[in-house]
Structure 1
C-alpha cells in the first residue's frame, strides 16, 4: 500500500499540569504564568515545519495530549485545528481527541472545546473513590469526576475514560465492583491500565523505601483476566492490551501508532514518525521555545530508521493489538522474510501452549498470551533494532 494513501495522524503536546502525579513519567511540567500567545505561535510554526515535510497527505486524526490539554484555552485549540486543515486535507470522518482532567474547572470548558472542533475526549478519571484518587495524587474527587464524565457525554460524540487498577491492596471484589460501575456508565471506549512503577517517579522512591508494596504478578494476572472477561461480556472487548471498545469506537489515532503508520508530533517532547524517520522535540518547555526561536522548529532528534529497526518496532507495537501483525505486509515493507522477522521455532512452541497463533501469515498473541506479552516478544521477535547502534 502506498504510504501517501494512508491517513496521517497529528499529535500536539501541551506540557503543562497543575501538579505532577506520583505515577506519571510523561513529559509534564508545573509552571506559573503561561503566555498562551507565545505558545500558539510556537505550535503553529512547528506544525508548519512538519507539514512542509509531509505534503499531500490526508489527516485522519488529531490528538491533543499532555500534560493537561484541557487547560488549553479553547481558542488556542480552535486555531491549531484550523491550521491543520490549511496544511492537509481532512478526512471527512476525522477524529479529534483531547485528553482532559475531570475537574469542574476543566469541565466548564467542554462546550467551548467542542466548538473548537474536538469530537472525542479522553478523561483521566483513574478511580471511583476518594482514597484511591488521593493515593494517585489526583486533584479531583470521585463525585467531581463523575459529574465531568456526564457533562462530557452531553458535549462530545465520543467519550473514553481511564482507570488504573492493581493498586496496592486492591482485591478482586473491589476491582470487579469498580469495573462493573465503569461499564454501566455508557461510554464506548475504556482504557484500563495496571499500575506500573516507572523509573524516576515518586512511586518508585516509595517502593524502594517500602512505603508501598505493588500487587504481585499472580494477583495482577488474575485482575487482568477478570478485566478481559467482563469487558468482552459487556461488548467492549480489548482491541489492544489495555484498551477496550465497541467496534465503532476504536481510537483511530492510537491505531496509527500501533499499526506503525506515519504521525507528525509537535510540542515539547513530542515524538513522530515521518516516513523512515523518527523525530523528537525538545522536552523542557523553555528549551523547546528557544529551539523554535533559533531554528523555526522544536526538533531535538531526527533519526533515520533502517529496515531492521522499522521491522522490529512494527512487531513490538503491532503484537499489542488483538488483530496482530500481517507478516506478508511487513515483509513487503521491510524486505525481511518471515524467518528473519520471527523465530519460527519459538512461535510454533508458543502456539502449542495457546499463547500465539500464526495463520495465513497473520501472527497474533492470544488473550492467554497478552499477560506475558513482553516475555513472548523477547522469544519470537528475531529481527534486531539498530536504533541505538
Structure 2
C-alpha cells in the first residue's frame, strides 16, 4: 500500500493523483492509500478526508455504479461542474458570464435503464456495479423518481418471460402521463407465443406501452410527455431530457436566448422539447434526423392550443446542414446537438449571420469548439447557464446565449 495526494477530479468524477493515478470516490486535497494497478488505485483507504466529503445519501452508493459523486458536498459538485465548462472555454481563450447552476433535486430522474437477468430462484434487476458487470439491486435508489421504482419488478417479470439464464435484458423505463413506458433490448427473438406472453404482461402490469427490440408489442394508452403545455407521444426510446426540472431550466434559458424572435429554426429538435413551447409566440421550423420523432412533434403541434405555425423537416444535419439561403429570414436558431457538437452547421450559421443563437449542449468540449468558431466570426457569448440534471454524476449540460455581430 502506498500513499497519494489527490490533486483534482477528472472529467469522469474520479480523483487524480500524481502519475496520473485514478482513484474513484476520492476528492481533491485528500491523502489516500491503495494498491497501484496500472493507472488505477485499488483498495483505497482515506487517510486525510476532504472537508467537502459527506455521507452518501444512498445506501447503494458504494456498490452501485449509477452515481459517481455522492461522497461530495452539493456545493462542491456544483462548483466543479461549472468549472468544467469554464475550463473548456478557457482552453480556447474564451471568457463568459456564468449564471448560478440549476441542479435537479434528488429522486427526480424520469427515465432509467435497468439491467435484468434470470437467476436460479427467479430474476433480479438493478444497475451494474462500479466498473463491473455484477448486477446490484437498488430498491432504495435516491436518483430516480420513486414512481419509476416499480419498473424494477417489471424488468424482473420481463426477464422471466423473455431471456435465458446466460443473457441480460436492458429495460428502459420512462415515466409518462399514462404510466410506465417500457422498452426492452437484448431479448429473445419474437415469435407468436412470446408476443402473446408479452402482450399479456403489458396488460397485467398496467404498462402504458411495451416495446421489444424496437417492435411495439402493446400499447394500453399513448405514453404522453408534455412539452410546455403540449402533449406528445414520443417513439419508443426517443431522446428525453433526464428530469422535468432540467428540461424546464433548459427551456427557460432557450426562451430567453431567442428573445422576441418571430421566426425560429430548431435544429436537432427531437420530439419538440423546445419547438412546441416556442410556437406559442413564434413561427418555428423544426429539423431532426429521425422521421419518427418529427412525426411525433407534428402530431403534438396539431393538438396544441393557440400555437403559431410549426413546420418539420427530417434531415441529417451532419451531412446536410441548413445553408445560408435557408436561414436568410431566420431571427434565431436553437441548436441542441448530440455530444459531437455541430461544427458543420455552425459554419453555415456564421455564413448566414443569424442574429441570435440558443446553444444547448451535453458536451462542454464540443460546445467550446463551436463557440470558438462563432466568437472568431464576430459573435458574442452573452451568458452560460449550467444545468445539472444528472445529479451525482460527472455529466454536465448547459444552455448558452450568443448574439451575432449585427445584433
TM above 0.5, yes or no, is: no
Q: Which has the larger radius of gyration?
A: 2
Answer 1 or 2: which has greater strand percent.
Answer: 2
TM range (shorter): 0.3 to 0.5
Query: Normalising by structure 1, what TM-score?
Result: 0.34
Answer 1 or 2: which has greater helix percent.
Answer: 1
Query: Normalising by structure 2, what TM-score?
Result: 0.33
